[in-house]
């Protein structure tokens, strides 16, 4: 409950507080022989969050955020280790490119989780700002010209999506290396 207390202390809104409340439900189903570790509790948490949300008829927005936090909070906590391709996969799994506001809420819930532990209450949580900044580098990619150039070359469907993903990965690579924003020659000319 320290996580929920932290969400209240940080004045999180209801969606974030609910995600904080249910994100670790899977820990309660950890087999006794592997305690005190809770290996794969995220997957078990997702199933339990779905059951709770169905039973309580939780609105879709709260339900989706709770599932997202349950599934990805461990990856978000460890995100400093991720390179460009893994960061992009994280953003895609979180649907962060289409729903950045929900992703911001997930990051807030993860901060509450990290700081909602004895002795960690006042520690910084750099993952929140870091992942938000990384997402901004992806959102800054103008995908229209990339998709248009790929289509002019005869690419279709998944190939166009791959060209866009390549440009987004390149933007993340540049962001991670501290290079100024912008597209490399390869990203400007997809599928060359």
pLDDT in tens, 154-168: 999 999 999 999 999
Which of 145, 165, 163 has its CA nearest to residue 155?
163
Which of 36, 70, 34 has its CA nearest to residue 51?
70
Peptide bond just before 36 cis, omega within 30 deg: yes
Are residues 133 and 47 part of one domain? Answer: yes
Report the number of distinct structural domains present in the chain: 2
CB 165 within 8 Å of CB 146: no
Radius of gyration of the chain (CA): 19
CB 23 within 8 Å of CB 49: yes
Average pLDDT score over residue span 37-42:
71
Are residues 98 and 54 part of one domain? Answer: yes
Average pLDDT score over residue span 85-104:
98
Are residues 150 and 126 part of one domain? Answer: no
Which of 168, 173, 179, 1 has its CA nearest to residue 91?
168
Q: Which of 5-14, 20-29, 57-66 has the lowest mean pLDDT?
A: 20-29
pLDDT bin (cut points 50, 70, 90) of residue 174 is very high
Average pLDDT score over residue span 109-117:
97
Are residues 157 and 117 part of one domain? Answer: no
Are residues 153 and 90 part of one domain? Answer: no
- 95-100 — which CB contacts under 8 Å span 24+ positions? 95/68, 96/135, 96/138, 97/135, 97/138, 97/139, 97/168, 100/135, 100/139
CB 45 within 8 Å of CB 27: yes
Average pLDDT score over residue span 12-34:
88
pLDDT > 70 fraction of the chain, expressed in percent and rounded: 90
Are residues 164 and 120 part of one domain? Answer: no
pLDDT > 90 fraction of the chain, expressed in percent and rounded: 82
Question: How much is the mean pLDDT over the chain?
Answer: 92
SS3 181: coil
The phi and psi torsions of 100 (rounded to 5 degrees) equal -65, -30
In the predicted structure, residue 7 carries a pLDDT above the cut 90: yes
Are residues 82 and 66 part of one domain? Answer: yes
Q: Which residue has the tokens 């008829």?
A: 57
Q: What is the pTM of this model?
A: 0.89
Domain that holds residue 112: 2-139
Structure confidence at residue 43 (pLDDT): 85
Are residues 147 and 121 part of one domain? Answer: no
CB 64 within 8 Å of CB 104: no
Are residues 163 and 130 part of one domain? Answer: no
């Amino acid at each position: 409950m320290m996580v929920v207390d932290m969400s209240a202390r940080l004045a999180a809104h209801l969606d974030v507080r609910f995600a904080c409340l249910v994100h670790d439900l899977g820990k309660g189903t950890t087999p006794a022989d592997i305690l005190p570790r809770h290996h794969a509790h995220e997957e078990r948490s997702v199933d339990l969050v779905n059951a709770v949300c169905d039973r309580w008829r939780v609105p879709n927005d709260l339900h989706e955020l709770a599932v997202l936090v349950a599934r990805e909070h461990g990856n978000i906590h460890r995100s400093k280790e991720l390179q460009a391709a893994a960061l992009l996969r994280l953003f895609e799994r979180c649907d962060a490119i289409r729903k950045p506001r929900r992703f911001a809420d997930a990051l807030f819930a993860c901060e509450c989780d990290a700081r909602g532990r004895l002795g960690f209450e006042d520690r910084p949580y750099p993952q929140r700002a870091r992942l938000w900044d990384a997402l901004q580098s992806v959102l800054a990619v103008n995908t229209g010209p990339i998709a248009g150039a790929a289509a002019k070359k005869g690419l279709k469907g998944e190939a166009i999506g791959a060209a866009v993903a390549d440009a987004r990965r390149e933007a993340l690579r540049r962001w991670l290396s501290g290079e100024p924003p912008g597209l490399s020659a390869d990203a400007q000319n997809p599928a060359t």
